[in-house]
Each structure stands twice: as structure tokens, then as C-alpha cells.
Amino acid sequence: MAYEQIWANDESKLSKEEIHKLKKDGLDILNDIDRYAKEGFASIPEEDWGHFKWAGLYLQKPKEAGYFMMRVNIPTGIITNEQALTLANIGKDYGRDVIDITTRQAIQYHWLTIEQLPDIYKRLGEVGLSSIGACGDIPRTIIGNPLAGIDRNELMDTREIVNEVYHFFQRNEDFSNLPRKFKMSISANVQNAGHDLINCLAFTPAVKVIDDVEQVGFHVKVGGGLSSKPYLAEELDVFVLPEQVKDVAIAVTTIYRDYGYRQKRHRARLKFLIADWGPEKFREKLLEVYGSELHLKGEDKVEEWNAGYFYGVHQQKQEGLSYAGFNVPVGRMNSEQLIQLATVAKKYGNGEIRTCNSQNIVIPNVPDGKMADLLAEPVFEKITIKPKSFIGYSVACTGIEYCNLALVETKETTRKLAEYLDEQIELDVPVRIHMVGCPNSCGQRQIADIGLQGVLMKTKEAGMVEAFEIYVGGTLEKDHAKFNEKLKGRVTSENLPAVLKDLFVFFKEEKHPGENFFDF
């Protein structure tokens, strides 16, 4: 039964957003963009503003000003040289030179106008990129192992599988009206580079002996997600062969589409259905929709969690080739930096740049003999291979500069905070700090050692000011995964650096050598 049949007969079961989506599918906005571009922002009815999400666009704050934020899908974070140059030039020509890497390996622009969109879509399309489905109630960009195909720590190369699943869902009208966003991760990296437990659907590396032959494949987790009610994903008792991944992804997405909750938007993510059904019931439904049996679980090959960090120079699986991991402070570059990165990636490697969910980059495929010359290039003075500890492990969401939901500024606040801490204190282990501007948690504050969530706080002296709740101890470490916990009280932005300094001084004095924040 199609989802329209399940819900459309009884509007009392639908949120107002659902009723709106039934009147006009999100992807239909793509038919209007050229016309709106000719007629200007004033010609766009307010009821269409939300539909731009399906085209990968949000209206920036304040919405009435008519500037868009655009997110471009980068499946697995792999950008070719041609794509990197196109992305850089779009940022230069239209995006006021601001280019962000998101925590889902996507590229994000700001300041775009409706008149510029047709040319931006044309340029993206010419190099095989798209922003369609990067936002909205639809399968989002697929994250995974940024080292796919070159990784000594992967069971198999997942690039082809990710591309196959991504292209199946791109502009697919059968799946353009999900209850809410749907996030997938596909990775065969044993260090869990794909952050399995916080995705709606995650494929993780596994092996199983089938008919006396050991097969490489995946285990499947469902129902993870953050925001104000975070859940860690539940594991299903199945082993999926590489050739089954696409159909399993379709089956899970179909179940979510047809059975996901549509009454209240804040309960519409897949995690709420999984929490109610449990993994066994979901597995039964999966087999029914998939249409045949799946193997039972095999041996889990996830060994640890690297939190998406790849700093330094490392050997690839290809003899004689290495990759280098660099820090992009709080994930923000300018166009010139991206042009320079693309240029050196081509000069020394095969031109590729790869984005990480830690908002950083990797340059792969550099012959060992050329690595020293690559590292001596001027662009790597600011985008460094060996960042100082706090700036190197800081993540920040978009924040009040551009985001309508934000309560506080995040990018610059994080950068200044990390720089201050790096001046004040030296630790023997990295501490991951994630800052978010509201409970939606695009900066994934729940999995950070130190999560900082923006709030507004009334003070006697200054009235309403920006402040933060402090959360400690989050991790996706194997067998110890947990969300961080809130400390009592709130701290103003002004006092935050001093308070965190005190916290880290205490940590340094009390910890054992090499002890991590999460073990403390």
C-alpha cells in the first residue's frame, strides 16, 4: 500500500507539513526554479519557501532578505579535481567566498540568490554534482569512508555501492515524501569512519562464512539520530552481501516511508518507529518488504572509532602511494584555498580531494616521493597536517550567521575558543569539542568529548546574552558508545573560555598518561 493511501484518507493523522507535501511534492520545486529566477524572489509565494529544501536550499536568516544556503551532495566525500574547481568558482562568483564542509561530508554555500540558481545548477550538473536531496524529507547525501578504495583499514572498496544507492534515490519521486530526513552511512572501514550509530540506516563491515567460503559484507543498524531526542542505532540480525546493499536500503526506506510517523514532526524520524517496534519487529518487516531471506549476522569487523580524523601522512593500500589528512579549522575555507587545494591535489596526486565528517580534508594518491613537496606548498600553512590539539578537534555547525534556527554564533566562537585553549594548555590526548547553535545538533554535539549547545540566558548586567550548556563524555567508541551528559548550569559566551580552561587544567592534573577524556 502506498503511503498516500495509508495517510491521505485521514487528515487528522497528518501534521500540517504533511498535508502541504501532499498538495505539492518537494521535488516539484525543481520545475519552478527557472521561472522564479526570472521573476525574482518577490514572486515566490511563502508557501513554497519550505520546498526549496528538496533542491538543497534553505533560506538564510532573515528569510525575507531572499538569500539561500545551498548544500551540495558529496557521496562518501570524494571530489574530483574538476568538481573541486567548479565548487571553488561557484563560491567565488556567487557565495561571497565562504565554503563550508559539513558533518555529512557535504559542501555548503551561503548568500546565493534565486537569480543565480540556474547557472549554479548548470555548473554543478556539468561536473556530475547535485544539491538535490541534500535537504528536505528525502534520502540525504550518503556518508561513508573518505578513504574508500585506498584504505588499508577497509574490508572492501565501497565507492561503487555508495554511488549506486545514491543515484537510485536521486530525484526518485517514489521516495521524495518521507516523514522526515533520512540519513544513510555505508562504510567498510574498521575504524567506523561512517559514524554508524547516529545514522537512520548504516551498513558496517562484517564477514560471514557461507557455504564454507568467507564472504565480506555488512551488518545493518537502523534508527540512530541526534537532535533533542537522540538515539543510538539498533543492530538488526542480518548479514548483507555487497550486491544486496541497494535493495536492503530501498526496503528500509520503503518501510520508513510507509510506516514512519507523520502526525507530529518532532516524532517523525525513523528512530521513533524503531524505538516503538524494536529491532526484531523491524527485521521481520524488512524481510517481508525485501522479499526474501537474508543471512543471519556474521562477525562484526568494526574495531574502533577514529571520529572521522585522518591527520598525518599514511600509506595507502596501493604500494608507493600515500594520503595526507589536513585540518580545515571549523570546516570553513575560502574559494582561493579550495582552488589551491585542487591545484596541488592535481600536481602531486590524481586531483582528488576528500571531505571528512570531522569537517576536514584528505588528499589521496600522492606518490611517496612527492609527499614532502606537497606538504611544502603555501596552502598548507593554514590548512595544516598537524594542527594544534583543540583547533584540530573542534567541530562547529552553521550557527546564527546564516541559520534561522540558531540561538548563538558558532563558527567564530569555536575558532576563538580553540585558539585560546591551545595557547593556555597542552594535553597529551586530543579532546573533541563540538559546538551547536540549537538542539537540532547539526554539529553532532552528543558524540563529542565536550558538547557545547547554544542557549539564550538572562543576566542582571546585560539582559539576554548568548550562553552555552556544557555536555561531557560522548563517544561512538566500540562497545562503549554513549551520548554526552549535561553539566549543571549554563555559561555565558564571555565566560566559556575560562570555564573550559579550568576544566582542562583539572583533567590534565588528574588523568593518567595517555588517558582519554572519554575514559576519565
Q: Given the rule CB under 6 A, which residues bind ligand SF4?
A: 397-399, 403, 405-406, 436-438, 440-443
Q: Whose CB is nearest to ligand SF4?
A: 437
- Closest CB to ligand SF4 among residues 227, 424: 227
**367: cis peptide before it, omega within 30°?**
no
Phi, psi values for residue 214, rounded to 5°: -75, 125
Q: Determine which one of 61, 181, 283, 332 is catalytic.
A: 181
Residue 171 appears among annotated catalytic residues? no
Q: Write down the least CB distance from residue 106 to ligand SF4, Å.
A: 12
Q: Determine which one of 392, 443, 451, 474 is catalytic.
A: 443
- Closest CB to ligand SF4 among residues 108, 335: 108
> Minimal CA–CA distance to 182: which of 166, 165, 163, 200?
200
Q: Write down the least CB distance from residue 438 to ligand SF4, Å.
A: 3
- Closest CB to ligand SF4 among residues 44, 226: 226
| Residue 252: all three cell numbers together | 528500509
Q: Write down the least CB distance from residue 355 to ligand SF4, Å.
A: 17
CB 72 within 8 A of CB 107: yes
In order, the DSSP letters of 421-453 are HHHH---SS---EEEESSTT-TT-GGGSSEEEE
Q: Write down the least CB distance from residue 443 to ligand SF4, Å.
A: 6
Residue 442 appears among annotated catalytic residues? yes
Q: How far apart are CA 341 and CA 197, in angstroms?
A: 32
Residue whose C-alpha cell reads 537502523 in the numeric block = 222
Q: How far apart are CA 227 and CA 438, in angstroms?
A: 9
Residue type, 270: L
CB 79 within 8 A of CB 96: no
Residue 71 appears among annotated catalytic residues? yes
| Residue 494: all three cell numbers together | 564571555
- Closest CB to ligand SF4 among residues 104, 285: 104
Between strands 234-240 and 213-222, the pairing is: antiparallel
Q: Determine which one of 56, 221, 442, 474 is catalytic.
A: 442
- Closest CB to ligand SF4 among residues 208, 332: 332
| Residue 137: all three cell numbers together | 524529507
Residue 460 appears among annotated catalytic residues? no
- Closest CB to ligand SF4 among residues 405, 455: 405
Residues 375-411 as b or e (16 or more Cβ within 10 Å = b): beeebbeebbbebbbbbbbbbbbbbbebbeebbbbbb
Residues 232-262 as b or e (16 or more Cβ within 10 Å = b): bbbbbebbbebebbbbbbbbbbbbbbbbbbb
Phi, psi values for residue 259, rounded to 5°: -120, -10
Residue 140 appears among annotated catalytic residues? no
Q: Which residues pair with 435 in a beta bridge?
A: 396, 452
- Closest CB to ligand SF4 among residues 153, 398: 398
Q: How far apart are CA 195 and CA 191, in angstroms?
A: 9
- Closest CB to ligand SF4 among residues 233, 436: 436
Residue 159 appears among annotated catalytic residues? no
Q: Write down the least CB distance from residue 33 to ligand SF4, Å.
A: 23
Judged by DSSP in three states, 341 sits in helix
As annotated, the active-site residues are: 71, 180-181, 437, 442-443
